[in-house]
Structure 1
Amino acid sequence: MSPPRHAVRRTLASAAALVVLAATAGCGGAATAGGDQVSELRYQGSVGQVTLPELAADLGYLGDVTLTWIGNVTGGPQDIQATATGQSDFGGAFNGAIVKLAAANAPITAR
């Protein structure tokens, strides 16, 4: 028996969010050029949702790195704009917004 369609869509959406998070992780300015480990990551949350970085922090996967919530985001384009301008250290959006960033020569890198 195959899983319900909404479960498959939710799984695909989560996987896409991980890819976008990885693609935009290099946009922020928290990392130093000398290769020092970052101790704090600024991020925007989502109302009524636990983000993947929040879950990772609660499960202890981030080690000594702390998350600093700077506010809630209303949408993906706003989230990656804040990342591209240095207001937050990482963000996520749907793939179309990432493609538009790349076309505009935004400083994005995959990590």
Structure 2
Amino acid sequence: MHHISRRGFLALSGLSALAVAGCGTASGSGTRNTTTLRYQGWAGQVTPAELAAELGYLEDLKLEWVGNTTSGPQDIQSAASGQIDFGGAFNGAVVKLAARKAPVKAVISYYGSDKAAYNGFYVTRSSLLRSPRDLIG
């Protein structure tokens, strides 16, 4: 198995639309040095972070599921308040929180595409993954 850096995987996977400044501190004034990131899941879905962890891409970084979210805006509000370390929502929700000076930082946009924008998942040429069907099992 080829390993890429955690930062590289997270950036390429579209893991989240935001990260919280200070890694989980509501004020963004401090850092939380940890090898465990708290997150919320989505009922009936495997998140990109969960898939990355299962495939070994996160190496020594561990995920701690704290429950399921009911919406993207609720997910990033939980991140902004320090209840979780990262979350995701549509761009409008991220912009609204940032405009209100919430301690959030957009990392990657993962909602929507048009003829000038494309969102997708990428693998190395040597990867055994070639289509979504390859993820089964």
Question: Structure 2-normalised TM-score?
Answer: 0.59
1:27-76 Cα deviation digits (max 9, x unpaired): 6427x749x5x310000000000001001101111111110100000100
For these two proteins, the number of residue pairs brought into alignment is 92
Q: How does 1:62-81 map to 2 (within 5 A)?
A: 62-81=58-77
Q: Which has the higher helix share?
A: 1
Hey, what does 1:10 align to over in structure 2?
Answer: none
Hey, what does 1:29 align to over in structure 2?
Answer: 24
1:48 pairs with one of 44, 48, 60: 44
Q: CA deviation at 1:18?
A: 1.8
> In the aligned structure 2, how far is the partner of 1:110 from the partner of 1:76?
13
- 2:35 pairs with 1:39: yes
> In the aligned structure 2, how far is the partner of 1:28 from the partner of 1:101?
16
Higher relative contact order (CA 8 A, sep 6+): 1
1:96/1:22 CA distance change after superposition, 3 Å: closer
The one-letter code matched in structure 2 to 1:24 is: A
Q: CA deviation at 1:108?
A: 1.5
Question: Structure 1-normalised TM-score?
Answer: 0.71
Gaps of 5+ in 2: 1-12, 108-137
Percent identity reads 56
> In the aligned structure 2, how far is the partner of 1:73 from the partner of 1:49?
11
Over aligned residues, Cα RMSD in angstroms?
A: 2.6
SS in 2 for 1:86: coil
1:108 pairs with one of 99, 104, 121: 104
Q: CA deviation at 1:102?
A: 1.2
Gaps of 5+ in 1: 1-16
